[in-house]
Amino acid sequence: MEVALELVNASFVLALLSWIVIDILKRRKHHNGSHSHSDVIPDFKHSVGGGGVRASGAIVAIFNVIIFIFYLGFGFYDYWIHSFVSTKLVCSAVTWFLASLVSVLSKNRTFRDRKRWPLVLVLWWVFSCILVSFSVVVYVIHHLKSKDLPYYLPEANIVDIASLPFLLLLCCCLPLAVNRNSDLQRPLLHKEDEKFSKDDDTAFASAGIWSQLTFRWLNPLFERGRVEKLELHHIPQVPDSETADKASSLLEESLRKRKADYYLLPKAVARTIWKSLAVNAVFAGLNTIASYIGPFLITSFVNFLSEKHDGSSYQYGLVLAFIFFFSKTAESLTQRLWYFGAHRIGIRVRAALTVLIYKESLSTKFVCYSNGKITNLINVDAERIGDFFWYIHGVWLLPIQVLLALVILYRNMGAAPSFAAIFATILVMVSNTPLASRQKRLHSKIMEAKDARTKATSETLKSMRVLKLHSWEPTFLKKLLQLRETERNWLKKYLYTSSAVAFLFWASPTLVSVITFGVCILVKTPLTSGTVLSALATFRILQEPIYNLPELISMIVQTKVSYDRIQEFLGEEVQRKFISDHGAKASHVAIEIEPGEYAWETDSKDIKKPTIKITDNLKILEGYKIAVCGSVGSGKSSLLCSILSEIPRISGAAIKVYGKKAYVPQRAWVQTGSIRENILFGKDMKKAFYEDVLEACALNQDIEMWDNKDMSIVGERGMNLSGGQKQRVQLARAVYSDSDIFILDDPFSAVDAHTGTHLFKKCLKGLLSQKTVIYATHQLEFLDAADIVLVMKEGLIVQSGKYEELIVDSNGELVRQMNAHRKSLDQVNQPQEDDSLTGGLCQISQTEVIEEKHGEPNCNDKLFESSQEEETETGRVKWSVYSTFVAAAYKGALVPVIVLCQVLFQGLQMGSNYWIAWATEENRNVSREQLIGIFILLSGGSSIFILGRAVLLATIAVETAQRLFLGMITSVFRAPISFFDSNPSSRILNRSSTDQSTLDTDIPYRLAGLAFALIQLFSIIILMSHVAWQIFLLFLAILGISFWYQNYYITTARELARMVGIRKAPILHHFSESIAGSTTIRCFGQEDRFMEKNLSLIDDFSRVAFHNSSTMEWLSVRINFLFNFVFFLVLVILVSLPRSAIDPSLAGLAATYGLNLNVLQAWVIWNLCNVENKMISVERVLQFSNIPSEAPSVIEDCRPKPDWPTKGTIELENLQVQYKPTLPVVLKGITSTFLGEKKIGVVGRTGSGKSTLIQALFRVVEPSGGRIIIDGVDISTIGLQDLRSRLGIIPQDPTLFQGTIRTNLDPLQQHTDQELWEVLNKCHLVDIVRRDQRLLDAPVAEDGENWSVGQRQLVCLARVLLKKRRILVLDEATASIDTATDNVIQETIRKETCRCTVITVAHRIPTVIDNDLVLVLDKGMIVEYDKPKILLEDRSSWFSKLVAEFLRSSKSNHPKNLV
């Protein structure tokens, strides 16, 4: 056999020598060739960007040189010892020398010309790898089993074993020759953007085997992270397979193939990822096998140390050390690749499911899922399914792990003890199962409680302005704290149950070992230190699957639930946007309305009749203008939705619409982005037409006021725009779309009379004159321009026809409405009125628009722009964050106790293990009873301390989380309104939900885990150093290198972790925004554009998450290798030391603990980094715990009398207000008195200061000068709660809360049902409430979506009338109410507030014409303040001009036959 191998060696020597000679001849031949080519090649090679590949080529050459040095060195050693060198060593050394030479010569050519390694070199690598592997196997079998094998089989020597890892790596590098994304494969002439775009996109895709094994492809990212703060554009793209587009396409294709299958989604996902899953399974299996090699060999190693060894056995010890090192390295690498692969699969599945859910929710109409539930599908269910791929291999690995443990135990101890150990393991698993079930139940309860709290928090944050104006925030805070207390109680139970599980986890090796060794003593199985330590190492490995089994079962169940929830959502049988072809349309017909019934709640038993019932056919011709009118709740909006197919049809034929549609909803929907983006809405810019649209929609003046013109940013839900501005922006969006059919839902309600007239003339009768327009309105002056008027009442079209025909019917619904309208106008008509006033008076310019929003627009613009990017900390998390967190609970008093418990646990555990290893040596005279008794005593003591540690840690965790939550939520509720204007609710909610969850269940255990792991690590170092002091020096060096790596890593990892948190929010925000505007998006046919934006946001998150997890693996690979190497050196030292210098039991114990050294050190470093990443959540929570607070709620020394205010007199003395010191003064020294029990109307153009005055009255903005006195009390001297609770206000945007009618009318629960019914009757809501059998307990949906806007305004009015305040502020409280209802409501307000001071900010002239006084503001100063009659007598007064314009626009449309 040896002769044959030497002949093969000689053949390779000749072949390699021939290749070298031929290569040298070729080089000489081309030496005088074209220098230009040789000059170009290096530069081009450099430009290719294959730095990682060239480095891999150098590593391959180095490996060859290392193996040559091994054989050469061993040859000299052999000659030194025996004065003789074997032929095998000489042949091997010569062949490896030539192989090294060939690899060096061919390295540059291989990577320059993208060619493969020379065939002769590849064959030599493969042959050597197979031969050496076979030799090592023969050696191991021969020495471990003590079996005599045939003499002709080759047996490995020490150099063969040392070379084997390098040979395996060389074989792995074979596919590395060609870079798949080489520039050579691209055309020479290509676009500039292709050349420079996405330079780093292929960092992972183009990485070679070696680079992927060691994660070297991340090095450029780390280098950049060291020199500058990482931004999103620095992060390379994810691999193509992980992109949202590719992943979702594959999943959709798989779903289409498996339509009939009940388990459609799980199988479709499995079909999509099965290849990656299979590769990952291979790594998981190899990792499991490698992890059991250590416990398998530890007996042989301890036995070796116990024997007196000569030269040959010394070599045997080194071989064992090499095998340990090789197995630990293989275990580390396969584990890293396994985890990395699982994370990649998770990213892919998560992205695919998110896209599918988004696509479904965007294209699905009237689905029964709420916005919050759909968001949960993405935020919770898709996330959970993605995480499941970390656990999936545990299903089949668990039986393999138990089987391997059984084999090792059987080999060392025999049948009875091994089966006893397995029985004990199963017993622990069974014991853990009820705890795990309880954990799962409690976790579900926590999630339910958290969902309830998060939902309440979200609604509260969105309505914070209303809450503060009504002084309800203490009540709502109390509700939130009650919800948090419920959550805290479940959390406490969950964490204490987790303490029991943790105790079982740490005590399980002790319990299993006590039972196993007890059985050994009973059956008199001989115990040696080797078999004992091998068993202990095996029990420690079994600890993980014992602990993970319940979690695995729980994860499978939770994942199935998530799959079912998503599948149920994706499988909803709902109508789609694209309706089937309507066939050939009739000539010039735009819409065909056919009889049918429509209802929002098709399955509700409490609803007595359909929302809309159409009884007649109606054809709407192209170019027609259709007006829809009716009282509040008559079904106008529902009719428009039925035309859009946005309301479920329960009977009849579908409404047919021919042509492109545009839609303007009653509740304005604008996107976060610039004004221009909102108007263009995906269309190309046509400058002339764009300018015409801005002019027609009266947006020019607003745009001119903003610093960035039409590039000014619109905030979340348009929060920095007034109601009128939002309405006009979305009207401009519709007009610019240049569609065929326009459906406008009450487009004039949020604007004043002049602007309404302007919009009607310039839009409806101007740019849209040739278009089909259907508009719902309460402004009856706009009806006569319509070709057809539809009059709605209680869901029916009671009248339809031309305006002139309908007003002839004196008993008709329209005439009733018009009579109310005339009555409203009669309030404004003046005895002095003549043609010069109504017709000849100068036109009111567009600048005299009266609409305004809380906060002047010219001030708000910069304010919001600064808030668009979330504020983040940079650099390391400050030590003050750690100290605050640690000292939050009991001032940190329990922390030293917990650390002491861990130290005592570690000491007793090591002591028990050493005792049983020492006592089982042959020369110890220890009885069996003494042996097991002391072992049980020491082990039991360690278990008690671990239980104490777990319970104390749970106590600290609960208390710390609660204190930080209270600090944050209290600070947020005490923050001024400006804080909520500049911080989107999603940003605050993220801290209250995601970050708080991390605080509740994660960070305390991460921080404690780091401390515990450090204690374990130091205890092992102390143990090993006690065996051999030289080991301590090794550890110092390795720890230094490890911490250098950690510092190098953390700079980049910290920023990536911050970016992960930041990049998740835009996905949820875009999703929420898209769902809110889904009707508009579908109507405009913009689904594809929104889908592209969604794909882009998901990819942005995926690339950050992908590289965040990859960096962790990068660090772990390096740290693992360092400590594997240290472990190897420790074993070499133990082998080298003489028998007399070491205690075999202690040395064996050190080796046993050393098996976990790499995992433990990686755990320490990982925790060090992860703790800092997780502490960012604490940092973010503390950031919102120190918000500058508004004035105190109550000032005890300055509390007003209980009956204050008694008269309601308001005095303004030189009142000056500015929003910021850097911004201009808005109110400029206003001095005036509002007499008690008077009605004061406040009017003025945009930016005049009307809303600022109201905000100053409620101290939303504090005066910068002057003061406001109410009934003799300076309001700046009393607490905010005392002030705001004594005032009443109805804001412009009606706000309802999810709950019932009762809780919306009376949030503080201070009134009886009788009082509630009385106020409902006054506001004409009784009939509406009685439609539902649940009456006052009828549900109100999120944001009051199941009520019309007009109905919501009536509820807000009822809410204020119920409070009976002396001072009442109406901010256009009836803008969305029809004239007839408005007249009745105004009469109710006059009657109910006869002894109140009423301040009305008005857009409608009839609202203020009968007031006692009118205050006219302009540019922050009072222009006029007097009785309306006196102001109207002066034809040149500002108020007269305003009334004239209103009369001119309304009078022209007023039917003369009704006068």
pLDDT of residue 1319: 82
Residue with tokens 């918000």: 1187
SS3 (DSSP) at 571: coil
Q: Is the pLDDT of residue 577 over 60?
A: no
Lowest mean pLDDT among 181-190, 760-769, 1033-1042, 1118-1127: 181-190
**pLDDT tens, 336-378?**
888 888 888 888 888 888 888 888 877 766 555 556 667 777 7
Quick one: average pLDDT of 1142-1170? 74
Whether 619 has a pLDDT exceeding 70, the answer reads yes
Give the number of other CB atoms < 10 A from CB of residue 23. 16
- Could you read off the pLDDT of 72-96 as tens digits, one per residue? 887 777 767 666 667 677 778 888 8
Question: 1390 vs 590, 1185, 1227, 1432, CA distance in Å?
Answer: 46, 45, 29, 22
Does the pLDDT of residue 47 top 70, yes or no? Answer: no
The pLDDT score that the predictor gives to residue 822 is 67
Task: Identify the weakest region by mean pLDDT among 660-674, 848-862, 1302-1316.
Answer: 848-862
How many other C-beta atoms are found inside a 10 Å radius of the C-beta of residue 587? 7
**Of residues 749 and 1171, more confidently modeled:** 1171
Query: Looking at residue 369, what is its pLDDT?
Result: 57
- Band (pLDDT 50/70/90 cuts) for residue 1377 is low
Helix, strand, coil: what percent of the chain each, to 5? 65, 10, 25
CA dist 1160 and 1164 (Å) reads 6
Model confidence at 855, pLDDT cuts 50, 70, 90, reads very low
Predicted pLDDT at 154? 66
How far does Cα 1231 stand from its chain's mean position? 51
374-388, 592-606, 1443-1457: range with highest mean pLDDT: 374-388
Report residue 48's pLDDT band, with 50, 70 and 90 as the boundaries.
very low
Environment class of residue 161 by beta-carbon count within 10 Å: exposed (0-12), middle (13-18) or buried (19+)?
Answer: buried
CA gap 256, 1048 in Å, rounded: 47
In the sheet that holds 589-593, the strands lie side by side as: 618-621, 589-593, 656-657
**CA–CA gap between residue 1144 and residue 164 (Å, rounded):** 29
1381 or 22, which is more confident? 22
Average pLDDT over residues 974-988: 77
- Confidence at residue 823, expressed as pLDDT on a 0 to 100 scale: 64
In total, the chain counts a number of residues equal to 1459
Reply yes or no on whether the pLDDT at 1110 is more than 60: yes
Q: Is the pLDDT of residue 837 over 70?
A: no
pLDDT category at 1373 given cuts 50, 70, 90 is low
Looking at per-residue confidence, does 1354 or 1030 come out higher? 1354
Residues in Cβ contact with 389 at an 8 Å cutoff, skipping those fewer than 6 apart? 277, 280, 342, 345, 346, 349
Look at residues 1006, 1007, 1011 and name the one whose alpha carbon lies nearest to residue 899: 1011
Q: Which of 1400, 1373, 1377 is nearest to 1290 (CA)?
A: 1373
- Tell whether the model's pLDDT for residue 1173 goes beyond 80: no
Confidence of residue 608 (pLDDT cuts 50, 70, 90): low
User: Is residue 767 predicted with pLDDT exceeding 60?
Assistant: yes
The strand order across the sheet containing 1210-1217 reads: 1227-1234, 1210-1217, 1265-1270, 1273-1274
Residue 297 sits at φ, ψ, to 5 deg, of -95, -10
Residue 192 pLDDT class (50, 70, 90 cuts): very low
pLDDT-derived band at 1245, boundaries 50, 70, 90 = low
Q: What is the pLDDT of residue 49?
A: 39
Report the pLDDT value the prediction gives residue 842, as an integer from 0 to 100: 34
Q: What percent of the chain has pLDDT over 70?
A: 80
Mean pLDDT for the chain overall: 76
The DSSP output letter for 118 is P
Q: What SS3 string covers 1173-1219?
A: HHHHHHHHHHHCCCCCCCCCCCCHHHCCCCCCCCCCCEEEEEEEECC
Q: Which pLDDT tens digit goes with each residue over 1045-1086?
A: 878 887 788 788 778 877 877 887 788 788 878 888 888 888
Which pLDDT band, with edges at 50, 70 and 90, does 868 fall under?
very low
Question: What tokens appear for 66 in the block?
Answer: 């290392």
**Mean local confidence (pLDDT), 994-1021:** 82
960, HSE (Cβ side, Cα atoms, 13 Å): 33
* Angle value at C-alpha 123, between 118 and 125, nearest 5 degrees: 100
**What gap in Å lies between CA 457 and CA 450, rounded to an integer?**
10
Strand pairing report for 1210-1217 and 1227-1234 = antiparallel
Could you give the CA distance from residue 334 to residue 340 in angstroms, rounded to a whole number?
10
Q: Is residue 34's pLDDT more than 60?
A: no
CB 736 within 8 A of CB 683: yes
Q: What is residue 1393's DSSP assignment? A: T
How far, in Å, CA of 329 to CA of 279, rounded? 19
Please tell me the distance from the alpha carbon of residue 1305 to that of residue 258, in angstroms, as a whole number: 51
Q: Is 871 helix (H, G, I), strand (E, B) or coil?
A: coil
Is residue 971 within 8 A of residue 1189, CB to CB? The reply is yes
pLDDT at 835 over 70: no
In the predicted model, is pLDDT for residue 792 greater than 80? yes
Q: 1212-1216 long-range contacts, Cβ below 8 Å, gap at least 24?
A: 1212/1266, 1212/1268, 1213/1266, 1213/1267, 1213/1268, 1213/1269, 1214/1265, 1214/1266, 1214/1267, 1215/1253, 1215/1256, 1215/1263, 1215/1265, 1215/1266, 1215/1267, 1215/1268, 1216/1263, 1216/1264, 1216/1265, 1216/1266
Residue 1108: the pLDDT is 84
pLDDT at 1335: 80
Q: Which residue has the tokens 């309880």?
A: 438
Write down the pLDDT at residue 825: 61
Q: What is the pLDDT of residue 545?
A: 72
When pLDDT is cut at 50, 70 and 90, the band that residue 115 belongs to is low
Percent of the chain with pLDDT over 90: 0
Q: How confident is the model at residue 1267 (pLDDT cuts 50, 70, 90)?
A: confident
What is the structure's pLDDT at 43?
Answer: 38
Q: What is the mean pLDDT of residues 1292-1316?
A: 80
CA nearest 503: which of 901, 890, 896, 886?
901
Alpha-carbon distance values, 1287 to 208, 466, 1322 (Å)? 72, 13, 20
Look at residue 38 in the predicted model and tell me its pLDDT: 36
Distances (CA, A) of 682 to 736, 803, 1091: 11, 37, 12
Which residue, among 860, 713, 707, 715, has the nearest Cα to 1219 in the 3D structure? 860
Residue 907 is predicted with a pLDDT of 85
Q: What whole-number distance in Å separates Cα of residue 999 and Cα of residue 964?
A: 9
